[in-house]
Structure 1
Amino acid sequence: MAASAAPAASVSAGAPPQDLGLPGAVAAKCGGPAIKLNSGHMMPLVGVGTFRADPGVVGEAVKEAIAVGYRHIDCAAVYGNEKEVGAALKECIDSGFVAREDLFITSKLWNTDHHRVEEACRRTLEHLQLDYLDLYLVHFPLAFDGKPGCEAPGFEADEAGRAKMMPKSLQDTWRDMEALTDAGLARSIGVSNYEFLTFNDCLAYARVPPACNQIEAHPYFAVDWFVQYCRSKGVAVVAHTPLGGAAANAAWRGGASSPLADDAINAIAKAHGVSAAQVCLRWALQRGTAIIPKSTKRHRLEENFALFEFELSADEMAAVAAVDKDQRSNKSGRNWGIEFKA
């Protein structure tokens, strides 16, 4: 971790908006622009993901990310690396390099823990060595039968290899999520991979509305109507897979093409002297979504964070939007033997 990195600085909820070319964002000295969630808490728009970050690598990546300037770290119990992430966070905090209150830590309730929400949250807090989460999400609108703690393969299967479902309603799950905010275990709660119907249902029964919906969104799967719908309801959108499932994850994409190789996106990148990835990420920010690109390499972490020295014109924003293929890369249902896409 580079000791010369800039110190953290928090953004007060009352900070005046500035013209950043980013909807609803206010400036921060470190961590990049942030938005105010409906819970009243501030969330940095640019985070770093830890999905598929290997043990033995992810801890160093988290420390490198914090050194680069990231303050938003996206985790999940099912990723199987929260203990290592927690050790890295503790090292950064205990050394005085960053204050806990200047970090924004997200984690997610796995599908097998819908009937033990508080237990799952406390387990994550223990692994991350934290007293509270800034944001805790329902990872998927699915309740599976299975052991606690996300033991591989993360669910119990029937004779046909399909995930066994638990008889618990999403409304009951949300009641338990709301209790976490009452107990101070999570400052904000939200949902992930909720499509239109499940999202609307949640809005209808929620006492504490979801602060965000984390969904797949990138130039080849823009779902702009849904992004804007969520935002119209006061719910922030966090785009996971914001690069469309990068080239290194071709198997995960199932052979689908990548927006990083798109001619129009690369032409815009060349005009600005930036990478195709930076164009995709800047486009996401300018249309009002937060982003959590994942990388474990220092130069990529720096590149994915260097998004505020250029701005896409209206014509360039339209050109990126025009490459949309309605091409989803995250087809999780295939891993569980069920029909589900998110």
Structure 2
Amino acid sequence: MTAELTLNNGVTLPAIGLGVYQSPPQETAAAVETALKVGYRHIDTAAAYGNERQVGEGIRASGLDRSEVFVETKVWISDYGYDATLHAFEKSTRKLGFDTVDLLILHQPAPDRFERTVAAYRALEQLLADGRARAIGVSNFMVGHLTDLLARVEVVPAVNQIECHPYFSQPEVRAANAEHGILTQAWSPIGGITFYPGWGEDRRNVLQDPVIAQIAHAYGKTPAQVLLRWHIQQGRSAIPKSVHAHRIAENFDVFDFDLTDQQLAAIDDLDTGRRHGPDPDAPMPEGIRDRTIPED
């Protein structure tokens, strides 16, 4: 059993996907192939991750037809701007080995260069119109970023991928997404502590929270499975990352139990309002912001 979510343009997206942020390129293809054999049909990558090529290799090695796998990737800030973003798409599809992607999103709002962000999104609109992307969206856009973007573009994003886990669930952003018919997709959905070195080094591991542990014990599930179930039951997409076969399988085994309303509320109450990753409104280090995405 799997769960699918319908985007605002009618395209369906499998609720659980494999994330490959920080997956070493030499391990990514095997992780993707393993995930697809387990039952995943959704892979999330990005130009900035440096492993789009290996995602494509893993999909082809699985033996599945391209149409059976929902592939999403992201354009990095250094490739923002109308023409630059169109070129970035060609770079990504060349590496993936596919002519189209299912979801193409802008990786950051880049408020310090928002004119280029808007131009980049207009390029996404053109790729959508041309049938090269089945859906388009954004990532890490806060309420103000969304408001500014929507005032200047034609197509409402289908997805906003944001940091979202019990310790930082961003209810205001999720409410704004819902108001506009935008699906919330959670990165760091289980509150991992390996994301974004240099930001929030003193953060707590959600997997060790006693509330989560108690609920997991009641169902004979792991804390990670409980957290992913929390996302699914509240209508979000989640993209847990792992390169370990047993964890990849564990993260997909979340469709045979239901959390109660009281348990969902108890998890909601864990929110600290404190990020584990970078603030989208804060200046990004130039070395990260302006990284060059290779052609090949």
Q: Show the 5 A alignment for 1:20-39.
A: 32-39=2-9
Q: Which amino acid aligns with 1:265?
A: I
* TM-score, normalising length: structure 1: 0.78
CA displacement at 1:91 relative to structure 2: 2.5
Number of residue equivalences: 284
Secondary structure of 1:56 counterpart: helix
Partner of 1:104: 70
**Which range moves more in the overlay, 98-107 or 239-248?**
239-248
Q: Show the 5 A alignment for 1:179-258.
A: 179-246=126-193, 253-258=200-205
Secondary structure of 2:9 counterpart: coil
Q: Please, which of 121, 139, 144 is the counterpart of residue 89 of structure 2?
A: 121
CA displacement at 1:180 relative to structure 2: 0.9
Measured in 2, the distance between the counterparts of 1:142 and 1:249 equals 17
What's the % identity of the aligned pairs? 35
Partner of 1:328: 275
Partner of 1:271: 218
Does residue 50 (structure 1) correspond to residue 50 (structure 2)? The answer is no
Whether the 8 Å CA contact 1:221–1:325 is kept in 2: the answer is yes
Measured in 2, the distance between the counterparts of 1:312 and 1:129 equals 40
Measured in 1, the distance between the counterparts of 2:110 and 2:268 equals 31
5+ residue gaps in structure 2? 290-296
CA displacement at 1:171 relative to structure 2: 2.4
CA displacement at 1:306 relative to structure 2: 0.7
Q: Please, which of 282, 296, 318 is the counterpart of residue 265 of structure 2?
A: 318
* TM-score, normalising length: structure 2: 0.90
Measured in 1, the distance between the counterparts of 2:5 and 2:19 equals 18
Secondary structure of 1:90 counterpart: helix
Whether the 8 Å CA contact 1:107–1:136 is kept in 2: the answer is yes
Does residue 305 (structure 1) correspond to residue 252 (structure 2)? The answer is yes
Measured in 2, the distance between the counterparts of 1:264 and 1:250 equals 27
Distance of aligned partners of 1:49 and 1:135 in 2 relative to their CA distance in 1, 3 Å threshold = same
Measured in 2, the distance between the counterparts of 1:62 and 1:81 equals 11
Does residue 133 (structure 1) correspond to residue 95 (structure 2)? The answer is no
Measured in 2, the distance between the counterparts of 1:334 and 1:202 equals 19
Whether the 8 Å CA contact 1:114–1:168 is kept in 2: the answer is no
5+ residue gaps in structure 1? 1-28, 144-164
1:220-274 Cα distance to aligned partner (Å, 9 max, x none): 0011232133123111110001111246988664121011110111111111111
Q: Which amino acid aligns with 1:128?
A: L
**What is the alpha-carbon root mean square deviation over aligned residues?**
2.1
Measured in 1, the distance between the counterparts of 2:114 and 2:156 equals 23
Measured in 1, the distance between the counterparts of 2:266 and 2:6 equals 29
Secondary structure of 2:21 counterpart: coil
Structure number with greater CO (CA < 8 Å, separation at least 6) is: 2
Whether the 8 Å CA contact 1:57–1:296 is kept in 2: the answer is yes
Q: Which amino acid aligns with 1:57?
A: E
Partner of 1:161: none
Measured in 1, the distance between the counterparts of 2:165 and 2:229 equals 11
